[in-house]
C-alpha cells in the first residue's frame, strides 16, 4: 500500500499529430453529405465512420478547440472552460447540478472532462421492461451492440482486467492491462474483501501503456495526474479529441469550432432537412447538407428541436428524462493518501446488479473515487452546509480522504422532463428547465448502496464517514423505439418525423442502464453510422 502512487512519467506534449493544420474545408454553398452537431461521444465516432466511407462531412462544435498541453492547467477553476455553462434551471424534488456535473463544451464535448469510466452495459439492462414490467426495453439486443462496444474499446484504448466476474462474455479482451489501483481503490478492495463483496480493477478509457491509435498516432501512458475531470493534459485519456476526431480529419472531415447551431433549413413539405444554420463570432452561417446527425447531449438535443418545433409529433421530446442515482460516501484514513492522484475510478464491484433478494429492482455498481480539492469541498458544503472553523478543520483532512460511489439504473417517470422556460439565456434563447425527482425504486437503491458503502468504509478503516447524494448523467429525452407514437427516433436513430435527421447521444437511450454511459454512446454512434451507410448503399 505504501507505493500506491509514484509519478514516473514526465508530462509529454500529446503525441497525436496536429491534424488541424491539414484539415479539409468545405464551402458553405456546397451541399455536404452530412452535418454532425456536437463532437463528444455521440458525434465523433460517426463523424469518423462517415468520413472513412468517403462522405463529405462537417462537424459543428459550440465550443473552442483546445491544445491540452498548452491550454489545460492542473487547476479546477480555470478548467471550468470545459463545462457547458449556459444556464439551465434545475427543478423538482431532487434538482440536478449541471456545469461541472454533466455536459461539456469544446472539440471533444463532455469526453474532455468525463472521468474515463467505461464499464459495459449488461444484457438485461436492455430488457428492464421484460424483466420488471416497468421502464422500457431497447429495440435491439445486447448481441447487436457487443461488436460495437468491442470496436470502441480496441480503437480508443481501454485499460481493463483480463477476466471480469460480471456480465456477458466478451468477443475480445481489453487492449491494455488495468491502471494501477490508487489509495481509494486499495481501501475499497480491503473493505469489500472483508465483507465478501467481489471487486475487479475497472475498465477505464485511459492508457496504462503507450498506445497507438490506428490511423491516428501514438499517445503516452497515463501519468497519474488525477485531473481527468478537469481535462487530461497529456493525451492519455481517450477523449474524442485524441481518438475519433483526428481519425475523421485524416479522412477529410471538417470540424468547425465556436459554431453554435440555432436553426435548420427544411424542404417545402418539412420532411427533409436541407441545411443547418449556426452562429460563429456574431455572424450567421448556413451549411447545405443531405443529412443531419444531432449529438448535442440529453438536454441541448431536445432543447434545439423544441426551439424549432421539430421532431415532436409524438409529444415525447424532452420527456422520460433519467439520471443515475450516484451517491458518494467519503471518509478519512490515517495515511495521507493524496486523493487527487491516479485514475479516479480504479476499482469496481457489480455484485449489486440484480442482487438476490434485493429490496430494489434493477441494479447498481460501486466504484472507488479519487477527487480534486474544489470538487470535494463544494460537495461537502452543499451537502452539509459546513462553515467557519468546522469547515477549515474538515478541509485540513482533505489529503487523507478517499471515496466510493454508486451508479444505479433509473426508471423513467412522467414527473421528469426537460422543457423550455420563458427566461432567455446569454444568446437570447429560452433556457431549458429540467425537472427531476428520484422515484421510489431509485431511493431504495440509494439507501441500500449507502449502507453497503458505509460498511465497506468502516471495514477499510475510515473515520468521519459522510454521504453526498447526487444524480449523474442526462438521459432519455428523445427516446428510441419501434413506436412513432411513444418514441422520437426509430431503432436506427432516425427521427420518425424527418427523412434525414438522426439523433445520436444519451437522449435516445430507452433506459438509463446501470453503468456509466460514454462507452454505450460511442458504440451507438458507430451503429447509427452503419445503419445510415447501409441505407445509402
115 lines the binding site for another protein (CB under 8 A): no
Q: Per-residue x/- mask for another protein, residues 83 to 102, rule CB under 8 A?
A: xxxxxxxxx---xxxxxx--
Q: Which is nearer to another protein, 15 or 149 (CB)?
A: 15
* Options 186-194, 353-361, 368-376, 513-521: segment touching another protein (CB under 8 A): 368-376
CA atoms of 452 and 352, how far apart (whole Å): 10
Q: Output the CA–CA distances (angstroms, integers) from residue 242 to 5, 69, 89, 235, in the order listed.
A: 25, 12, 32, 6
* Options 65-73, 283-291, 445-453, 464-472: segment touching another protein (CB under 8 A): 65-73
Binding residue for another protein, selected from 19, 132, 166, 398, defined by CB under 8 A: 398
282 lines the binding site for another protein (CB under 8 A): no
* Options 241-249, 258-266, 376-384, 461-469: segment touching another protein (CB under 8 A): 376-384
Cell numbers of 333, please? 484514513
Q: How many residues lie near another protein (CB under 8 A)? A: 58
396 lines the binding site for another protein (CB under 8 A): yes
69 lines the binding site for another protein (CB under 8 A): yes
Pair 213, 14: CB distance under 8 Å: no
CA atoms of 93 and 102, how far apart (whole Å): 19
Contacts of 136 (CB under 8 A, 6+ apart): 128, 129, 320, 412, 479, 481, 510, 511
* Options 164-172, 387-395, 442-450, 517-525: segment touching another protein (CB under 8 A): 387-395
Tell me the closest approach of the beta carbon of residue 13 to another protein, in angstroms: 10
Q: Which is nearer to another protein, 103 or 511 (CB)?
A: 103
Pair 425, 492: CB distance under 8 Å: no
Residue recorded with cell 439492462: 125
Tell me the closest approach of the beta carbon of residue 91 to another protein, in angstroms: 4
Binding residue for another protein, selected from 3, 27, 269, 389, defined by CB under 8 A: 389
- Ramachandran region of residue 461, left (φ > 0), alpha (ψ -120 to 50) or beta? left
Binding residue for another protein, selected from 93, 282, 426, 428, defined by CB under 8 A: 426
468 lines the binding site for another protein (CB under 8 A): no
Binding residue for another protein, selected from 73, 141, 165, 284, defined by CB under 8 A: 73
CA atoms of 479 and 332, how far apart (whole Å): 42
* Options 3-11, 54-62, 112-120, 504-512: segment touching another protein (CB under 8 A): 3-11
Cα dihedral sign for 293, 296, 301, 305?
negative
Q: Per-residue x/- mask for another protein, residues 212 to 251, rule CB under 8 A?
A: -------------xxx-----x------------------
385 lines the binding site for another protein (CB under 8 A): yes
Tell me the closest approach of the beta carbon of residue 217 to another protein, in angstroms: 21
Pair 412, 324: CB distance under 8 Å: no
CA dihedral in degrees (401, 407, 413, 416; nearest 10)? Answer: 40
Of the CA atoms within 13 Å of residue 468, those in its CB half-sphere come to 24
DSSP assignment string, 374-405? HHHHHHHHHHH---HHHHHHHHHTGGGEEEEE
CA angle 3, 5, 6 (to 5 degrees): 90
Q: Which residues pair with 293 in a beta bridge?
A: 36, 502
* Options 188-196, 209-217, 369-377, 507-515: segment touching another protein (CB under 8 A): 369-377
10 lines the binding site for another protein (CB under 8 A): yes
By CB under 8 A, name the binding residues for another protein.
7, 10-11, 69-78, 80, 83-91, 95-100, 103, 225-227, 233, 336, 338, 340-341, 372-374, 377-378, 381-382, 385, 387-389, 391-392, 395-396, 398-399, 423, 426, 433
Amino acid at each position: 500500500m505504501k507505493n500506491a502512487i509514484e509519478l514516473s512519467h514526465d508530462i509529454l506534449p500529446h503525441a497525436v499529430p496536429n491534424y488541424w493544420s491539414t484539415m479539409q474545408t468545405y464551402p458553405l454553398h456546397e451541399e455536404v453529405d452530412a452535418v454532425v452537431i456536437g463532437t463528444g461521444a455521440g458525434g465523433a465516432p460517426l463523424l469518423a465512420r462517415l468520413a472513412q466511407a468517403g462522405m463529405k462531412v462537417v462537424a459543428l462544435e459550440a465550443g473552442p478547440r483546445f491544445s491540452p498541453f498548452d491550454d489545460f492547467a492542473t487547476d479546477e477553476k480555470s478548467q471550468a472552460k470545459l463545462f457547458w455553462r449556459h444556464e439551465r434551471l434545475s427543478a423538482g424534488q431532487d434538482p440536478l447540478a449541471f456545469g461541472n456535473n454533466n455536459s461539456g463544451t469544446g472539440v471533444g464535448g463532455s469526453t474532455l472532462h468525463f472521468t474515463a469510466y467505461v464499464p459495459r452495459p449488461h444484457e438485461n439492462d436492455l430488457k428492464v421492461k421484460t424483466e420488471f414490467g416497468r421502464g422500457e426495453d431497447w429495440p435491439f439486443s445486447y448481441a447487436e451492440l457487443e461488436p460495437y462496444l468491442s470496436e470502441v474499446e480496441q480503437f480508443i484504448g481501454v485499460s481493463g482486467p483480463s477476466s471480469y466476474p460480471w456480465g456477458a462474455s466478451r468477443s475480445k479482451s481489453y487492449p491494455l492491462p488495468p491502471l494501477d489501483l490508487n489509495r481509494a481503490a486499495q481501501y475499497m478492495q480491503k473493505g469489500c474483501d472483508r465483507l465478501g463483496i467481489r471487486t475487479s480493477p475497472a475498465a477505464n478509457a485511459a492508457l496504462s501503456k503507450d498506445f497507438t491509435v490506428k490511423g491516428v498516432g501514438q499517445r503516452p501512458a497515463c501519468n497519474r495526474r488525477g485531473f481527468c475531470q478537469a481535462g487530461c493534459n497529456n493525451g492519455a485519456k481517450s477523449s474524442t479529441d485524441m481518438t475519433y476526431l483526428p481519425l475523421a480529419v485524416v479522412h477529410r472531415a471538417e470540424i468547425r469550432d465556436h459554431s453554435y447551431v440555432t436553426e435548420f433549413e427544411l424542404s417545402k413539405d418539412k420532411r427533409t432537412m436541407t441545411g443547418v444554420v449556426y452562429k460563429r463570432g456574431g455572424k450567421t452561417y448556413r451549411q447545405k447538407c443531405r443529412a443531419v446527425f444531432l449529438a448535442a447531449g440529453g438536454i441541448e438535443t431536445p432543447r434545439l428541436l423544441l426551439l424549432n418545433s421539430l421532431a415532436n409529433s409524438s409529444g415525447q421530446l424532452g420527456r422520460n428524462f433519467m439520471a443515475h442515482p450516484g451517491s458518494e460516501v467519503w471518509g478519512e484514513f490515517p495515511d495521507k493518501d493524496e486523493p487527487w492522484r491516479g485514475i479516479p475510478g480504479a476499482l469496481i464491484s457489480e455484485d449489486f446488479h440484480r442482487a438476490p433478494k434485493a429490496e430494489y429492482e434493477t441494479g447498481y455498481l460501486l466504484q472507488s473515487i479519487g477527487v480534486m480539492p474544489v470538487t470535494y469541498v463544494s460537495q461537502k458544503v452543499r451537502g452539509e452546509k459546513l462553515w467557519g472553523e468546522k469547515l477549515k478543520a474538515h478541509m485540513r483532512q482533505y489529503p487523507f480522504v478517499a471515496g466510493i460511489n454508486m451508479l444505479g439504473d433509473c426508471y423513467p417517470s412522467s414527473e421528469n422532463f426537460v422543457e423550455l422556460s420563458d427566461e432567455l439565456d446569454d444568446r437570447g434563447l429560452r433556457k431549458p428547465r429540467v425537472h427531476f425527482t428520484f422515484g421510489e425504486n431509485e431511493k431504495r437503491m440509494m439507501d441500500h448502496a449507502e449502507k453497503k458503502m458505509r460498511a465497506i468504509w468502516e471495514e477499510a478503516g475510515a473515520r468521519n464517514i459522510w454521504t453526498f447524494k447526487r444524480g449523474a448523467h442526462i438521459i432519455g429525452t428523445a427516446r428510441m423505439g419501434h413506436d412513432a407514437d411513444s418514441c422520437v427516433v426509430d431503432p436506427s436513430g432516425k427521427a420518425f418525423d424527418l427523412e434525414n435527421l438522426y439523433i445520436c447521444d444519451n437522449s435516445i437511450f430507452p433506459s438509463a442502464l446501470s453503468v456509466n454511459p460514454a462507452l454505450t454512446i460511442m458504440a451507438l454512434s458507430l451503429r447509427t453510422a452503419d445503419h445510415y451507410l447501409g441505407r445509402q448503399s
